[in-house]
Amino acid sequence: MKRFLQSVFLCLAFLNAKAQVGISVSPPRTYFHLNGGQSEVKSVTVTNVSSAKTLDLSVSFNDWKYDENGNNIISPPTTLPTSSADWMTVSKPSFRLSPGESYDLEVRMTVPFNANTEPVHTTMMYITQTNPQDAVDEQGKAIRVYVRSGVKIYRRRNAAHNTNVEFISYRYDRGRLQLSIENDGDIWADGTINTDLVNTETGETSELKSIAFYTMPGDKRKLSLQLPEELEKGKYTAISIMNCEATAVLKVAEFNFVHL
């Protein structure tokens, strides 16, 4: 059954605050540049940040992708064409950490010679507590707490690649600007969009809050910009500048609208 990853991390934050138990995992993303038949090992450091609780931990892998709003959607392993879950092994599938102890988990990816032609493959590595903690929820009820954290793993071929994200639509909708972008390259692309507004009747300018985006090849992303409540009614030009982290090329979109 698919579920949103966001709820897992919100749960983790709640558990850290309420149950005084948690883990730190670094880095949160790991990248492999491998062709078919190649293998590589990366290190992920796992730390028990609890001051009193010993944690028994296990490692597992799932598939993941973004939805059109940029949320992470988790699926069972090997169910997506972009899955690399079966390619992964770790130095210890399960291990124990005393309070304050760290372990450098060795994560190996081995790409088969007959891997499909998807330009990018991914998996989510979960590190999950297997000895639950007794705690009390906000209503005073007894609960059992499990801590879990995820590491996103990416793979692309060790070859030239094309990073490209384009604006594909822009519209005004009841005090918000609705943008759509598309990753039509062959590599993951992350970045930010900064937007300035110009009142075409008075010349007054204002700057909207920057928004971040994360995309995979073929993704279309819906983004929403809230206009300031104090923005005067009138005619405006919105100028949005997209900056992708992997390229120095800036993309610009202009949109004329009437703020009602």
- pLDDT tens for residues 114-129? 999 999 999 999 999 9
Q: What's the start-to-end Cα distance of the chain, in Å?
A: 43
Single-letter amino acid code for the residue at 251:
K
Beta strands in 91-227 (DSSP E): 94-97, 102-110, 120-129, 133-136, 142-145, 148-156, 165-173, 176-183, 189-199, 205-207, 211-215, 220-226
With bands split at pLDDT 50, 70 and 90, how would you rate the model's confidence at 142?
confident
> Residue 3: which H helix or E strand, with range?
strand 3-4
Does 3-156 match 165-259 in CATH topology?
A: yes
For residue 62, which of 131, 151, 132, 145 has the smallest C-alpha distance? 151
Which pLDDT does position 65 carry in this prediction? 97
Q: Distance (Å, rounded) from C-alpha 153 to C-alpha 155? A: 7
234: left (phi over 0), alpha (psi -120 to 50) or beta: left
Condensed to tens digits (0 to 9), the pLDDT of residues 158-189 reads 999 999 999 999 999 989 999 999 999 999 99
CATH architecture observed for domain 165-259: Sandwich (2.60)
| Other Cβ atoms within 10 Å of 125 Cβ, number | 21
How would you classify the pairing of strands 23-26 and 165-173? Answer: unpaired
With bands split at pLDDT 50, 70 and 90, how would you rate the model's confidence at 145?
confident
Residues facing 181 on adjacent strands? 167, 221
> Residue 45: which H helix or E strand, with range?
strand 39-48
For residue 240, which of 188, 166, 182 has the smallest C-alpha distance? 166
User: Which residues in 22-44 are b (16+ Cβ under 10 Å) and which e?
Assistant: bbebeeeebebebeeeeeeeeeb
Q: Would you say 196 and 254 are in contact if contact means Cβ atoms under 8 Å apart? A: no
Q: What is the mean pLDDT of residues 235-249?
A: 92
Q: What is the pTM of this model?
A: 0.85
Condensed to tens digits (0 to 9), the pLDDT of residues 5-51 reads 333 333 443 344 444 678 999 999 999 999 999 999 999 999 999 88
Does residue 141 register a pLDDT over 90? Answer: no
The segment with the largest mean pLDDT, out of 105-109, 131-135, 228-232, is 105-109
With bands split at pLDDT 50, 70 and 90, how would you rate the model's confidence at 135?
confident
Q: Would you say 221 and 68 are in contact if contact means Cβ atoms under 8 Å apart? A: yes
Dihedral angle computed from the Cα positions of residues 24, 28, 34 and 39, in that order, rounded to the nearest 10 degrees? 10
Which pLDDT does position 4 carry in this prediction? 34
Which pLDDT does position 245 carry in this prediction? 84
Condensed to tens digits (0 to 9), the pLDDT of residues 52-108 reads 899 999 999 999 999 999 999 999 999 999 999 999 999 999 999 999 999 999 999
Q: Distance (Å, rounded) from C-alpha 114 to C-alpha 141? A: 52
Give the residue extent of every domain in the chain.
3-156, 165-259
With bands split at pLDDT 50, 70 and 90, how would you rate the model's confidence at 146?
confident
CATH match for 3-156 among 3.30.70.141, 3.40.50.1010, 3.40.50.720, 2.60.40.10: 2.60.40.10
Give Cβ neighbours of residue 4 (< 8 Å, ≥ 6 apart). 71, 72, 73, 74
